[in-house]
């Protein structure tokens, strides 16, 4: 998955405990339909793990990043590199 920017991904992770459709749209630079699909994907994984999703409209940020294959450590490292330039 392609994120809108390293800065957006880093700030999204740090500033949000949960993500809603608008957050996901901003993170991936996608339309609302695609953002809902991303949220549904996370909720399906939460259900597969035997837990209850918190909402059909919100997902936990840390779980979402894992499901989407986004490593916050890698994003943080890249964000620092960009900040030093």
pLDDT in tens, the chain (85 residues): 799 999 999 999 999 999 999 999 999 999 999 999 999 999 999 999 999 999 999 999 999 999 999 999 999 999 999 998 7
What is residue 85's predicted lDDT score, i.e. its pLDDT? 76
Q: Is residue 1 part of a domain?
A: no
What is residue 24's predicted lDDT score, i.e. its pLDDT? 98
What is residue 26's predicted lDDT score, i.e. its pLDDT? 98
The count of structural domains within the chain is 1
- Assessment of whether the complete model's pTM goes beyond 0.75: yes
Tabulate helix, strand, coil % of the chain (nearest 5): 65, 5, 30
For residue 59, give the H/E element and its range.
Answer: strand 59-60
Is the distance from CB of 14 to CB of 80 less than 8 angstroms? no
Q: Is residue 10 part of a domain?
A: yes
Q: Is residue 14 part of a domain?
A: yes
């Amino acid at each position: 998955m392609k994120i809108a920017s390293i800065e957006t991904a880093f700030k999204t992770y740090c500033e949000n405990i949960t993500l809603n459709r608008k957050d996901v749209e901003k993170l991936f630079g996608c339309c609302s339909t695609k953002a809902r699909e991303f949220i549904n994907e996370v909720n399906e994984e939460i259900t597969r793990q035997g837990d209850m999703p918190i909402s059909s409209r919100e997902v936990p940020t840390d779980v979402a990043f894992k499901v989407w294959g986004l490593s916050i450590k890698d994003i943080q490292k890249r964000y620092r590199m960009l900040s030093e330039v």
